[in-house]
Amino acid sequence: MTPIQPIIAIHGGAGTLTRTAIEPAQEAAYHEVLAEILAEAQQALSDGVAALDVVGLAVQRLEDHPLFNAGHGSVFTRAATHELDAAIMDGATLRAGAVAGVSHIRNPILAARAVLDQGEHVLMAGSGAETLARKLGLEMVEPLYFSTAFRREQLRRVQGTATTVLDHDGGAPLDEDRKFGTVGAVALDAYGNLAAATSTGGMTNKQPGRISDSAMIGTGTYADNRTAAISCTGTGEAFIRIVASHDLCARMAYAGATLDEAACQIVMERLPDIGGSGGLIAVDAKGNVSQRFNTEGMYRGYARVGEPPHTAIFGHPSDASSS
């Protein structure tokens, strides 16, 4: 039997600032953060840490960094508040946990993991999710913790309108609705187990109470050892309508599609058919990775144990790699 080569893949959102709008220092900062997180996750996999723990760790690190629209650095709702969503899933058991519309939990991905570990429910929202987080001793913060000047300026530009602005639009014209804010991670560990995790702050000027695909198992987040682990980013309503991440696994299981064939069908065909934009990262049970997107770029990277990490922002969307 060929030894399993563990792998981690992460994303910081599809769309990105355009090549002409992004400054060299900004581009370098994204690469640096992605590489640091990949290296930490890669080491954990090398040490035998389970995929479920590793994807949670990677997403927690992404939540803590203000460059990304998740955790610290999340966007504002129309009411100038923050409502965050997150989900995590274990491919070995199909156990899953998610939280939606939380405003006081420093790391929503830890709350999602707590829901998974409790085992009673899959998705908890609002005050109920926050009560559970407090009971379990998770770090709670005032909503101001999530705010940054950049996000407040994004809201200021569209307040009083019905426009929702997607991530990274703060320094670009409002009609450039091609940038999406979500973070995610997928992994295959040394034991052959898959896991996926996703977290988001949503969309600037969204209506309070809106829930993203990130929190919905089978849409923005899914993992099944028989097929793949997936984390999505983009126009969440479109991913919800096509049940994107589960559909990818179904295409592999029932139609015999490879990981990248299924990812391409979802991102390059199904989503555009209903006006959806964005991308996804996915790893299958054999260690293949696919990072498909139909936008100008996607903040992304992957790292196999024993090999240098790869990070990218722009480039060709057919970013797939075989083990």
On whether the CB atoms of residues 197 and 221 are closer than 8 A, the answer is: yes
Position 127 scores a pLDDT of: 95
The pLDDT assigned to 317 comes to 55
Among 136, 177, 170, residue whose Cα is nearest residue 156: 170
258 is in an annotated binding site: no
pLDDT score at 129: 97
Q: Whose structure tokens read 């991530």?
A: 167
> What does the radius of gyration of the chain's CA atoms come to, in whole angstroms?
18
At 232, give phi and psi (nearest 5°). Answer: -110, 160
Walk across the sheet containing 84-90 and list its strands.
123-125, 96-102, 84-90, 194-200, 183-188, 7-14, 298-304, 310-312
Per-residue model confidence (pLDDT) at position 209: 82
Return the active site residues: 182
- Rounded to an integer, what distance in angstroms lies between the CA atom of residue 84 and that of residue 74? 8
Is 211 annotated for ligand binding?
Answer: yes
Asked whether residue 212 is marked as a ligand-binding residue, the answer is yes
Q: Which one is the CATH code of 7-315: 3.40.1190.20, 3.60.20.30, 3.40.50.1370, 3.40.190.10?
A: 3.60.20.30
pTM equals: 0.89
Query: How far is residue 104's CA from residue 19's CA, in Å, rounded to a whole number?
Result: 35
Q: Tell me whether residue 178 is annotated as binding.
A: no
Cα–Cα dist 20/24, whole Å: 10
Instruction: Name the token pair of 236.
Output: 């969440």
- Residue 47 burial by CB count (10 A; 0-12/13-18/19+): exposed, middle or buried? exposed
- Strands of the sheet containing 278-284, edge to edge, are 221-223, 228-234, 278-284, 289-293, 319-321
Residue 37: what pLDDT?
Answer: 98
Whose CA is closest to 319, among 280, 287, 286, 285? Answer: 280
- Distance CA(166)–CA(323), nearest Å, equals 34
- Check the annotation: does 233 bind a ligand: yes
Q: What is the mean pLDDT of each run of 10 residues along the chain (323 residues)?
A: 90 79 86 97 98 98 89 68 90 98 95 97 97 96 70 56 47 38 94 97 74 95 98 94 98 98 98 95 98 93 97 75 62
* 36, 163 Cβ separation under 8 angstroms: no
CA distance 295 to 152: 25
